[in-house]
Amino acid sequence: MDFGTVLIAVAVVAVVVAVASYWGTGRIYSGLGREGGLEMTREPPAAASGPEVQEEIRQMLEAKSRRRQARGEPELDVESELAELTRASAASDPALREEVRQLVIARNERRIRQGKEPLEVEAEIERQLRAVGGDEPPPRV
């Protein structure tokens, strides 16, 4: 046998072995971790309520204040910072409102082209801003 024939034979055998090993390991990896309660599945994130969110923000602000004190800086007024952070809403940002308005108008143009009824612009803007603030689930397009 010459070198070319041996090379082709080895390559063919290697391809067959590679295909067989790929086909055989698929079942092994698909079942890996399913027994013994180790299955990795995604759980939907739990919705946080207002008091829980405020308590987490308060804890983060208190930790930030302690770090500042450790560096010799004045401590934070946690209550005023908390009030400022929780007071701000998406509806109070005029630039965001205008951007949402442009998106609603563009969506209405697309809906009209599709033969659907256009959305009422102001009501849709308010709904979108509430969704950004976390008061309702995000819209489906």
The per-residue DSSP string of 87-127 comes to: H--GGG-HHHHHHHHHHHHHHHHHHHHTTPPPPPHHHHHHH
Residue 94 CB burial class (10 angstroms; 0-12, 13-18, ≥19): exposed
- Ordered by start, the domain boundaries in the chain are 49-88, 89-141
**How confident is the model at residue 43, as a pLDDT?**
63
pLDDT digits (tens, 9 = 90+) for 95-130: 888 999 999 999 999 999 999 999 999 999 888 887
**pTM exceeds 0.75, yes or no:** no
pLDDT digits (tens, 9 = 90+) for 57-97: 899 999 999 999 999 999 999 988 887 777 655 556 788 88
Query: CB-hemisphere CA count at 13 Å for 102?
Result: 5
